[in-house]
Structure 1
Amino acid sequence: MPLEIYERKNSKNYWVRGWVEFEGARIAGPYRCSTGSPTKAGAEAWIAGETEYQQRRHLVGEEGAQTFSDAVLIYNANAKTAKQLLPIDREIGTTPLAKITGKLLKSLGPKLKPLASTDTWWREIVTPARAVINNAHELRGTPAIKVRQYSSNERVSQDAKRKKTSRVARTPSDRKWVAAFCDAADPHNAALLRFMFETAARIDQAISLTPTDIDPDECQVWLKAQKGHAARWVKVSKAMMAELVALPKKLTRNPLTGKLLEQRVFGYNSSTSYNNRWKTICKNAGIPYLSAHAAGRHGYFTELVVRRNVNPIDAAEAGRWSDASLPMRVYAHPETDESALREHFRTKPVQPKKSKQPKARKKKGNTDVK
């Protein structure tokens, strides 16, 4: 009996029973399970999908039967990743996982986002697609995949096509910039900047602080997990703790509904809501605008390692980098005047003056000759 839909008592969803058949022969089943759909149309779509998959599996085997769309369905994606996967699924959804290569995934960038950088292609196309494929590998034994990063030549070529540089050097904050910003800022934004400059906290970690995340007795704050690093207590200076404790706590507000939400130490509800306020503060202070990441995390590492000669390993540990080579490569910004360095090659070396040796005096008189 082919698959058929039926209603089951005390169940909101339609159920299915029977076998999947191919040319009159049973190839999968028997089925007696829920389709997970409360509508008949949804149940019929479930049967169509399951029948197609089982027939494909019967003809080409398990690995050949699994398509990218099948892998997407068993991947637990959040809202952001699901949005990224939609255009990818439309492009390669029917492609068997066994035939998807790293070259294929990288070729999707120019098709789906022709004006984006290679970094964006990697982050929004290759990374989520690779995660879907490798998740299917763990759950169903389909082939895993490894993808090489875009090369520097590919990045430069794409930047030339879109006439825009993808990796603009960040300018880190310094103590003078921080002081000027804080003089022009309100107490909450001044404290927010000083907190990130001192602890290398990311903006999302900083704005997520609630009053219960502050421990004045131990002079520490609880930073939430981010970028693969676990949540942990982080020590702060006594002056910083006093400033945090003195701040009036603010209730955040939903920008769409106006509904009051939880209390936050710095009063922001999202990691981007600080931007406009910071631009105004920088304009009033007469200083260039720096993002929270440049002012905090970049400023933190450059201040300690470049300006104060702190051991990079110690600075990386305190800033919660697992590998000191990463912040040295990305977050430590040189501050030496390049022209001054060049002058070293134009300065004539000073040659030491040769000391004059006194001439030997000739002896007067005849020498005895034997």
Structure 2
Amino acid sequence: MPLEPYQRGEVWWAKGRVELDGQAITGYLRVSTGASTETGARRWIAEETERLKRRHIVGEEADEFTFDDAVVLYRAKPADAKRLITILPHLTGRAVAGITPKEVRELGPKILPNCATDTWWREIVTPIRSVINNAHDDGKCPPIKIRGYGTKERVAQDKARGKQSRVEKTPSDRDWLDKFTTAADGYNAAMAQFMFETGARISQAVALVPKDLDLPRLRVWLGASKGHPAQWVAISEAMAAILVALPPKRPRARRGDQRLPPRVFGYAHPTSMHSRWRAICKQAEIDYIAPHAAGRHGFYTEMRVRQGLDPITAAKAGRWSDPTLPDRIYAHSDVDEREIRARAGTKPVQPPSKGKG
């Protein structure tokens, strides 16, 4: 009989055996789940069952392989390495086979109590999952599958920290772009226009170097990002003329007075331009729109909503492999909600009736 929950006093327990393909892989178990509700008990049973199945497949030797060992095997990028430094004290010395999905999820509020659930997932859950599953690929431990934070958890955490997460982004439009470029210096004006025209991410725009420009053939080499490969991207003649007139600029290093190799738009890092971007918006007396929303969101909303381009073509132009994704995330309505309510009003204006002759 598979593990089933039952209540003893105020705490729910589990009894039964863990099965794999209809065969029992454990003896008869009778253990407390620590949960105060049946839902919590069933969740514990699901995660414990998954853990014991993984241990059965890989073997008991997995208990000797620790999270520290898994981190050593993982080739972490600088951002991931920084996250793992924060995570490691909470899992150091732990056998990977004994780390449960529930435990990983609970590290989010423990390590970052004032952050959103999306931040917990990005900063805590994803690095841990990547480290463990990378070690599994080498045959060192069982894999791990972790359930995401639900809407109820996200809303509760937003309420607890007094701040809403997943606020809808405001895309730029041509009027906003015209005002921004009028107030901006040549480099920021060109970068804003470039991202709006191509749908490039801010990281891709900042990374452009002179050799990435093939202006006679009206194209720019964009680096790989978010799952799509590096590739040539077409630009308009007007954009080519802007880039021709823009001399490459050597940005200053974050520390010291060292000058880095020339960049097309003169920035060394995607975060380097945010304060300048805000200042330009203030000078232009327009709402601040972050670079990602001004560029990538602005591009797709312009193509799909304002110009009515079909989703397949618009997604391809913006280098989305799944054409359904940008419609869900990057397309924003320009219609004032009050206009919609007026159309559905209880007393719509009736056209005048024709009189009898």
Q: Same fold (TM over 0.5)?
A: yes
Q: Measure the CA separation in 1 of the matches of 2:205 and 2:339.
A: 39
1:201 equivalent in alignment to 2:226: no
Partner residue of 1:288?
A: 287
Q: CA deviation at 1:229?
A: 1.6
Cα deviation, residue 252, structure 1: 1.8
**Contiguous gaps of at least 5 residues in structure 2:** 1-58
Deviation at 1:315, TM superposition (A): 0.8
| Deviation of the 1:348 alpha carbon | 4.5
- The answer to whether residue 272 in structure 2 is matched with residue 306 in structure 1 is no
- For residues 194 and 163 of structure 2, the distance between their equivalents in structure 1, rounded to whole angstroms, comes to 33
Aligned position for 2:315: 316
Deviation, 1:227, is: 1.4
Q: 1:87 maps to what in 2? A: 86
Counterpart in the other structure of 1:223: 222
1:232 is aligned to: 231
Name the residue aligned to 1:173.
172
Measure the CA separation in 2 of the matches of 1:78 and 1:295.
28
CA RMSD after TM alignment: 1.9
Alpha-carbon deviation of 1:293?
Answer: 0.4
Deviations 1:311-365 (A, max 9, x none): 1211111101111111111111112121221222324485997999xxxxxxxxx
Which deviates the most, 124-133 or 328-337? 328-337
Greater displacement, 251-260 / 338-347: 338-347
Moved segments of 4+, more than 3 Å: 347-356
Rounded to whole Å, the distance in 2 between the matches of 1:129 and 1:260 is: 37
3-state secondary structure, aligned to 1:274: helix
How far apart in 1 are the matches of 2:173 and 2:354? 48
**Aligned-pair distance for 1:87?**
2.8
Match of 1:297 in 2: 296
Match of 1:340 in 2: 339
Check conservation: 2:65, 2:140, Cα contact below 8 A: no
- C-alpha displacement at 1:225, in angstroms? 0.9
- Structure 2 residue 235 is the aligned partner of structure 1 residue 273: no
Aligned to 1:261, the other structure's residue is in SS state coil
Residue 78 of structure 1, CA deviation: 2.2
Provide the rounded CA distance (Å) in 1 between the counterparts of 2:327 and 2:235: 23
Alignment partner of 1:151 is 2:147: no
In the alignment, the residues of structure 1 paired with residue 93 and residue 264 of structure 2 have an alpha-carbon distance, to the nearest angstrom, of 49
The residue aligned with 1:119 is: 118
Larger radius of gyration: 1
Letter of the 2:282 partner, please give it: K
| 3-state DSSP of counterpart to 1:250 | coil
Identity level (%)? 51
| Corresponding residue number in structure 1 for 2:99 | 100
How far off its partner does 1:64 sit?
A: 1.3
Give the CA deviation at 1:197: 0.3
Q: How many angstroms apart in 2 are the aligned matches of 1:350 and 1:210? A: 61
String of CA shifts for 1:172-200, please: whole Å, max 9, x gaps: 10000000011111111111000000001
**Alignment TM-score, normalising by the size of structure 2:** 0.79
SS at match of 1:272: helix
Partner of 1:242: 241
Deviations 1:56-82 (A, max 9, x none): xxxx94211111111111111122212
Quickly say closer, same or farther: Cα 1:250–1:354, change in 2 above 3 A: closer
Report the CA distance between 1:86 and its aligned residue: 2.0
Alignment: residue pair count: 297
Once the two structures are overlaid, the 10-residue window that deviates more, 277-286 or 126-135, is 277-286
Matched, 1:134 2:123: no
Q: CA deviation at 1:103?
A: 1.4
Unaligned regions of 5+ residues in structure 1, if any? Answer: 1-59, 357-370
Paired with 2:338 and 2:96, the residues of 1 have a C-alpha distance of 55
